[in-house]
Amino acid sequence: MTPAGQKTLPTRLLELACGLLMLLLLGLVSAQVVMRYLFNAPLVWSEELARMTFVYLTFIGAGLAFHRGENLRLPILTDALPRRGRLWLRAATSLAEIGFMGVVVGYSVPLLQRLSRAHTPALEWSMATFYAGAVVGGAVILIAAVADLARTAAALRGRPGAL
């Protein structure tokens, strides 16, 4: 969650990754449609790669939205609290997010190790490659939550400009 109007290097990198993944997805789906319906020669691998690209786009996009603070929020309770109460609630929320994403990433890594022996049918890539997008997106969210907790803690200590 960055100050308005400022884009940090991580924000730019996440935006670039999402943009490139979107272009790749568009190209793959377009190629599949053209090959299947115009040339009657479907590409057997493009649907699988498009699905994998969509998985990565979904999770990295979720990480970008979280990093920007654009994820879904219901501010009814927080708006009713005084500033210090909002900060404490934000810190508690960040701790819950860190705990949840820590579990997601922590349990995903052994799963990826088990999936590494299985392969996709068309591309014959490791299934770990297919599901690694969840770990990458989870790690982005985890890092953003830790950074937000640090900023919130600094604001609670009274450091000006922390939030």
Instruction: Report the percent of the chain where pLDDT is more than 70.
Output: 97
Mean pLDDT of 10-26: 96
pLDDT at 1: 47
- Judge whether 116 and 128 are in contact, CB under 8 Å: yes
Number of folded domains in the chain? 1
Give percent of the chain above pLDDT 90.
81
pLDDT tier, 4 (very low <50, low <70, confident <90, very high otherwise)? low
Its domain, for residue 45, covers 9-156
Task: Give the mean model confidence (pLDDT) for residues 6-16.
Answer: 91
- Asked if the structure places residue 3 within a domain, the reply is no
Tell me whether residue 1 is in a domain.
no
Average pLDDT estimate for 147-159: 93
Residue 57 included in any domain: yes
The model's pTM = 0.85
**Is position 85 within any domain?**
yes
**pLDDT value of position 39:** 96
Establish if 2 belongs to a structural domain. no
- Domain contains 162: no
Statement: residue 141 has pLDDT above 50: yes
**What's the pLDDT tens digit per position in 46-100?**
999 999 999 999 999 999 999 888 888 888 888 899 999 999 999 999 999 999 9
- Residue 105 forms part of a structural domain: yes
Give me the long-range contacts of 157-163 (CB less than 8 A, separation at least 24): 163/87
Average pLDDT over residues 153-159: 92
Determine if residue 71 is left, alpha or beta; phi over 0 gives left, psi from -120 to 50 gives alpha, anything else beta.
beta
